[in-house]
């Protein structure tokens, strides 16, 4: 509503560079944090095993 009463002034142009830059910086920082955290963790690799129940013969 304010814009319609701005006579003889150039139209405002908004830049999206700052928000996109902040988001990309946050993504890089989080990725780096996860990468460094996984590289520094000393937990040995765990193996997953699936144990199936033994089949039982049907009783008569």
User: pLDDT for 4-42, tens place per residue?
Assistant: 677 777 777 778 899 999 999 999 999 999 999 888 876
pLDDT at 3 over 70: no
pLDDT at residue 20, as a whole number:
94
The torsion of the CA quartet 12, 13, 18, 24, rounded to 10 degrees, works out to: 150
């Amino acid at each position: 509503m304010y814009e319609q009463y701005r006579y003889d002034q150039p139209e405002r142009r908004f830049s999206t560079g700052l928000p996109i830059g902040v988001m990309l910086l946050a993504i890089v920082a989080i990725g780096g944090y996860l990468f460094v955290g996984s590289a520094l963790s000393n937990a040995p690799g765990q193996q997953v095993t699936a144990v199936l129940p033994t089949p039982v013969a049907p009783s008569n």
